[in-house]
Amino acid sequence: KRAVVFISGGGSNMMALVAAAKAADYPAEIVGVIADKADAGGLAKAAAEGIPSFAFVRKDYASKEAHEEAIFAALDRLSPDILCLAGYMRLLSGVFIQRYEGRMINIHPSLLPLFPGLHTHQRAIDAGMRIAGCTVHFVTEGMDEGPVIGQAAVPILSGDSAESLAARVLTVEHQLYPQALRLLAESKVKMEGGKAVSTDAA
Ligand code: GRF
């Protein structure tokens, strides 16, 4: 299966997917990387891996629609089966989501449905949680609320800061995301009736 990864920053999750996809038995290949910032650190990393990488900067386009149209044109050329949002800090329009619903996933640094949105680690600490973690989910119209494919938890330790917790969560993100993409690429999970359904695919 052909996967395109969307980033806005350093792309450590994108690189985890790239590394996993190098395994001979991995059911997906990363065929492109798209960023919404020309200086996203992940673009250079993708290019160094020989992966076609593109920046589509919102302010270069007259409207959100025009911005997305440019991205759609690049996607039509890359013909992905799956889109992986990985630190992509932009909300997609309904048109975009409908176009890829069921084959577009995202990683979010909390155990959804807890803590959708931003500053998830500080919020978990402030709430007195004893665990934190990350979620890979199908992308739907609402932000961070699509059907869950996989989750990974880590302890919140006394004295943790948002930064120390973020680092611990990021480590398990890099394990979870490749596992979740494998499930989708092998059709072992699919989105059906607004739910993530495990299939008994061979
Ligand atoms: C990660 O915490 C991810 O969960 C969130 O964006 C952060 C940066 O990810 N979506 P990356 O290093 O750019 O992959």
Q: Is the CB of 12 under 6 A from ligand 1?
A: yes
pTM for this predicted structure: 0.95
Going by alpha carbons, the residue nearest to atom 7 of ligand 1 is: 87
Place of tokens 């919102």: 58
The pLDDT value given to residue 33: 98
Q: Which of 67, 108, 121, 174 is catalytic?
A: 108
Read off the pLDDT of residues 162-199 as tens digits, 9 standing for 90 and up.
Answer: 999 999 999 999 999 999 999 999 999 999 988 999 98
Residue 104 CB–ligand 1 contact under 6 Å:
no
pLDDT in tens, 119-169: 999 999 999 999 999 999 999 998 899 999 999 999 999 999 999 999 999
H-type alpha helices, the chain:
12-20, 41-48, 64-78, 94-100, 120-126, 162-185
Q: What is the pLDDT of residue 202?
A: 52
Give the residue whose CA is nearest to atom 10 of ligand 1: 87
Say if residue 201's pLDDT is above 70. no
Distance 99 CA to ligand 1 centre (A): 24
**Atom from ligand 1 closest to the CA of residue 173:** 4
Instruction: Report, as an integer, the average pLDDT of 92-104.
Output: 96
Q: Is the CB of 31 under 6 A from ligand 1?
A: no
Q: 83: phi > 0 → left, psi -120 to 50 → alpha, else beta; which?
A: beta
- Going from the Cα of 201 to the center of ligand 1, the distance in angstroms, rounded, reads 30
Q: What is the pLDDT of residue 160?
A: 98
Question: Per-residue b/e over 43-64, b at no fewer than 16 CB within 10 Å?
Answer: bebbeebebebbebeeeeeeee
Task: Indicate which residue's Cα is closest to atom 5 of ligand 1.
Answer: 87
Q: Is 109 in the pocket of ligand 1 (CB under 6 A)?
A: yes
How many Å is the Cα radius of gyration of the chain? Answer: 16
* Cβ of residue 7 lying under 6 Å from some atom of ligand 1: yes
User: Is 121 an active-site residue?
Assistant: no
> What pLDDT is recorded for position 200?
74
Q: Output helix, strand, coil percentages for the chain, rounded to the nearest 5.
A: 35, 25, 40
Distance from residue 68's CA to the centre of ligand 1 (Å): 22
52-60 mean pLDDT: 97
pLDDT value at residue 166: 98
